[in-house]
Structure formats: structure tokens, C-alpha cells
Amino acid sequence: MMAESIRLQIAIMLSNQRPPGYESTAQDITCPPSYAESVGPLDSPAGFIDHTDSEQHPLQGVKYIPNIPSTPVMGHCETKTVNTLSLYTGNISITASFKALDGVLHDLHTCVKGIIWPSELDFPMNTDNVLILPDTKKNKPFIKRLRKLNGLWWRLDAIPTHNNEQLKAKHGATDIVIRGYIRMMNDHILDLHAKFVETVKAAGAALDNVYSVLTSCIKKFKYPSELDFPANAESPLLFIDNGKSQLFIDQLCTLDKLRTMLARIRTHGNEQLENKHRTISVAIGQEFQRMKDHQLKLWEKFEEAKQSINAAKVALDVIYGSLDNYVKKFRYPSELDFPANATSPMIFISNEKSKPFIDQLFELNNLRTILAAIPTHGDKQLKKRHEHVNAAVGEALRRMGEHQLKLYVKHTKSYQPQLTGWV
């Protein structure tokens, strides 16, 4: 009954320090009458244990943890525990063993109170032992507690019981409690690893989905022959959001969404996932670069067209200014020399009398030829200006043609009573 009471007290003292969702009862950490028979060999309490030193310690089923002294020193200022070495120096009192055991229990209570049950841990890839946790920042607190528990286990194992029933019961109950917490921590590792495996699978599926969508989109992408850029745009990244540019904009948005989706997928240190993640990231980057290069190409084309438009505007201004100067200087002669048998006002003799008029006609036709060679590049304002200058040249030619016809009629009347053959 005394042993059962001791075990129950220890169990009650420590039973609140359990991982979230742990369904075991107090019986998990209490010791039955013959605890050595009921508890089989416990697996290594933590996967980061050095298996090569396991024979240095007598406790079956537990391996040595690096950084834990082979001959641990027990000492606690409050419980005034004695050095563990003194337990092996011959005539050791039962009282010293009780004090040493109380020190272990005190430190055990402090240890389990500080256990933080993480919602996730970092796990290595391609290992047969999932309990071998990598020494990462995320894992350090959990690993530290496991090492402390193992250290307490070694300290406990070093305490002799002197065949004292009460001491044996307390020793056995403490042993079971430590085993129970190590087992709970290992179980928590296994639970988190199971979730981790599912998470890795989900990440792989998510990466496959992103890659599938990316491949499908790239096959459907179109590269327009032109984009609408603002007239005063100083960067190829700025273009007008209209029907002509909408398809290109939608494709850029699709790539950006895929890149955002990819950034949210964690690889969990999995080499295969990291390679796949990197491959998809590179593919998205390459497609962005292709679209950027095409956009830059269209921008350069737009800049060339803009320069051509500006040059055309200057040319039109020059033509219009020249036309105005020509028209102001034009002379309309009172007569022209036509052949006696001329049948058309377009035929007249090229002599000193007709030369000024002929030169004026030549200048106007030359301006019209130059004007016809100036492209409008689809620019509405330039097209309107072009039409205006062309109309002005046409008006000047019309006035000269009317004057020429007037002189021709005058000429024919002086040679023929009736104009024949002229319509």
C-alpha cells in the first residue's frame, strides 16, 4: 500500500504536464506492483542519441545522449542532494539515497513543467528513424527537454535502493514516470511526423498543380503585335489598359498569381520538393522574362513610331509653311502662250512668258509628292493634319488650274470663233 501511495503521489504531481490531445490516463505514469516486468524495453527516448555509448550505462533500452556526463553529478541547493559519486563509495546510507531520489524528483518536476509541446517540428528526409531530430532552432527546446529527461534517468539509475522497500517503490515509481514522459514525447514526435508526411504530400500535390496550370497557360499565351502606350510614357512598363493590351495584361496577372501561389508552398526541407519548387520558379521567371522582352520590343517599336510621328509633324509643318510662302509669291499671268491648234489647256508653250507659271505648278506638284510620302502611322491627329495640308496644296493647284483654263479659253477665242474638242 505504501508503494502504491508513493506512485500515486508522484503521478498526481506530474500528470498535468502532457501534450495537447494526449488521451492516456494516470495509469500511464504509475507503476504496477512489478514495474520491471510490466514495462518492456523502452525505445531510445530520442533519436539523436549516440548508440555507440549505450553499453556505458546499465539501464536496458536506453541509449546514452551526448553532452550528458557519463558520471552525472546530482546537486540541488534546495534539496541538498549529495554528489552521485558518493553513492558508490562504500557505506551509503538509505537517507542519502532518499535525498538523491528527492533531488531527481524535484528536477523532474521542474523539467516536465517546462515542457512545451510544439505544433510542428523539423524532420530529416530519407531516414529510417523519425526520432532522429535535426538540431534546428525549432527543435532545440524539445530536444533540450528530452536530454534533461534522459539525464534524470541516468541519475536515477545511479541511486542504490539498499533493498529498502519504501526506497525501491519510490525509485520504481520515479523510473516509470520518467519513462512515461519520454514515451509521451516520442509519441508526440511520431504524431507530428505523421502530420509532417501528410503536409509534404500536400505540398507536392500543390506544386504539381501549379506546374500543370503554368504549362497549360504558357501554351495558350499570345504575344500581340502592338501595345498601346501613353504618348508621354517614359517606361515600357506603362501602357494603356484597353482592349488591345488587355490580353497581355491578363497573362501577366496569371503569372503573378502563380508566383504568389508558389511562394506560399513550403518545401519542409525536402530535397525533392525543393528541386521541384526551384524548377517551377525558374519556369515562371523565364516566362516573365519572355513577356518582358516582348513588351520591351513593342516599346522600342512604339518609340520609333513616336519619333516618326514627330518627324512627320515637323515635315507637315515645313510643307504647310512652304506652301504659304509659295502662294504669297505666286503670280497669275494675264496670258500664256498656247499652240495655235491646242486642244487642251494643259498644253502650252514653255517660254519666258510661261516659265514663272510653270515653275509655280512644279513647286505645288513637288509639295504634293513629298506630302504623299509622309506616313500618318495610324495617328489620328497626324492624319487630320496631313489631310489639312493636302487640302491646302489641292486648293492652290485648283486656283492655278482655273486661271490656266481661263487663259486657255481666252486664247482659243482669239484663234477660233468656237471652242471645239474642249469639255
pLDDT value of residue 265:
93
In 137-160, which positions are buried (b, 16+ CB within 10 angstroms) versus exposed (e)?
A: eebeebbebbbbbbbbbbbbbbbe
Query: Tens of pLDDT along 294-326?
Result: 988 888 887 787 778 788 888 888 888 877 777
Q: What is the pLDDT of residues 160-177, one digit of tens each?
A: 988 899 999 999 999 999
Confidence class for position 262, pLDDT limits 50, 70, 90 = very high
* Phi, then psi, of 64 in degrees rounded to 5: -80, 140
SS3 content of the chain, % helix, strand, coil (to 5): 60, 0, 40
pLDDT in tens, 365-393: 888 888 888 888 777 888 888 888 888 88
User: Is a pLDDT exceeding 90 seen at residue 212?
Assistant: yes
Output the nine-digit C-alpha cell for 208.
504539381
Of all residues in the chain, the percent with pLDDT exceeding 90 is 28
Please tell me the pTM assigned to this model.
Answer: 0.54
- Among the listed residues 52, 54, 72, the one whose alpha carbon sits nearest the alpha carbon of residue 63: 54
Which runs of E-coded beta strand occur in 240-372? none
All three cell numbers of 390, joined, read 493636302
The answer to whether 2 and 168 are in contact (CB under 8 A) is no
Tell me: the pLDDT tens digits for 117-170? 998 888 877 667 888 888 889 999 999 999 999 999 999 999 998 889 999 999
